[in-house]
Chains A and B, each alone.
Chain A
């Protein structure tokens, strides 16, 4: 059983990573030339989904596969930090700060929203 859950997390993680790549590239190639919208969209949508899953109160194995596996691989902290550093490197302080603050505020709001939707079902 445990091996099956681990396998589930691995496969779900792979799917999450692919989904991130697809969403990020789609958003970035349309909009994200000067501001990393791709990563922002990924992280916000991930926060809504994780909030939603928590709201649903799934069983522990299902939560592990969906939460840690899919959403864990889908969202990305490192890219958010990396892209902020890239903006700072080129003296785009306003964009860098916006990238940090916006993701934080909207992220917490997105998680809360997701949770409310999940709980109301």
Chain B
């Protein structure tokens, strides 16, 4: 286990280019060169950035340049080195840095630090075709998490990435065995602490990151509002927050899929940016894990909608999220200690990590 790890997340347009080619390829080339322990590229289905241009897979003509997300986790030293190169790519709209623990190999005797006892987010990095006792590993992991009372888990399919430092990129004519997928699970710290050794037994060579999170809502029940963070820490470094809404394609709000309703409402209230990613399997409430079914047109896969903003704006938009998720969905909030947002010449934030014990 490594305590001092960082998670570097980039949000950008799938078709954004730099001098070297597509931004997505360039980012993953950087992660490959730095042999990043776990990195993944995810394709979004809808979103907008600082300019508030909506991109959506809703109609063919709006789906030209859908949002994309890359996540990279490794030791602080390694991520900071990679960041030096990532910084210089012009086409990346939003870059965030978050603190995380990275668990690799033997997870039998894991004691989570005290700070993780409120609620914890686990991210399990798997290969697309990885199996566990003849069942797809992501299905086995979700079943286990569901049985152990973890609040929700969502499986996201990557199209490119690195695992244990090795690059694996999806190709058309290939089984894509090692292309990364990620399972994001959120639950109370004790449930997660108990389930970790079991995951260690279930998976062949576990690669898991652990972060601190607050669960705000589940299945319509308001558990806690987002932390009321100040705009900056005691040294004046700006603080940010990330709201995540886990829902299902089948969940609706006033005749619209829940995640589309969230995006549209946040766009009109002036949120800085929103990205939605469609998962392939998962659960986020009392129901059993689910995905799409064969020969059914209506989709049942989970969705994840992410909004990163200032604490002040998060407090403003939370009532909107609260309304849209009045019956369904899992809402979590996390602190983001460093962020840089860019749109044309406008630039906010920076890469020095804020410290704010809460």
Residues of A within 8 A of B (CB): 21, 24-25, 28-29, 32-34, 36, 38-39, 79, 82-83, 85-86, 88-92, 94
Contact call B59/A83, Cβ cutoff below 8 A: yes
With known contacts A33-B54, A33-B264, A34-B256, A91–B298 Cβ distance under 8 A: yes
Main secondary structure of the interface of B (DSSP, over half): loop
- Give complex CA distance A28, B60 in Å: 9
A73 to chain B, nearest CB (A): 15
Residue-wise, chain B 32-58 has the 8 Å CB interface mask toward A (1 for contact) of: 000000000000000000000110111
Instruction: Give the residues in chain A near B299, CB-CB below 8 Å.
Output: 89-90
Main secondary structure of the interface of A (DSSP, over half): helix
Contact call B62/A29, Cβ cutoff below 8 A: yes
B302 to chain A, nearest CB (A): 14
Q: Say which one of B132-140, B247-255, B323-331, B336-344 lies at the interface with A.
A: B247-255
Determine which of B62, B249, B255 lies in contact with A89 in the assembled complex, contact meaning CB atoms within 8 Å.
B249
- Give complex CA distance A92, B298 in Å: 9
B47 to chain A, nearest CB (A): 13
Contact call A85/B297, Cβ cutoff below 8 A: yes
Instruction: Give the residues in chain B near A25, CB-CB below 8 Å.
Output: 61-62, 64
With known contacts A88-B298, A89-B297, A32–B250 Cβ distance under 8 A: no
- Give complex CA distance A24, B64 in Å: 12
| Chain B: CB-nearest residue to A96 | B297
With known contacts A28-B61, A83-B59, A92–B297 Cβ distance under 8 A: no
- Give complex CA distance A36, B53 in Å: 17
B257 an interface residue at 8 Å Cβ cutoff?
yes
Contact call A91/B252, Cβ cutoff below 8 A: yes
Instruction: Give the residues in chain A near B59, CB-CB below 8 Å.
Output: 24, 28, 32, 36, 38-39, 83, 86
Contact call A88/B297, Cβ cutoff below 8 A: yes
- Give complex CA distance A82, B64 in Å: 15
Q: Which 3 A-B pairs have the closest CB atoms?
A: A24-B61, A28-B61, A90-B257
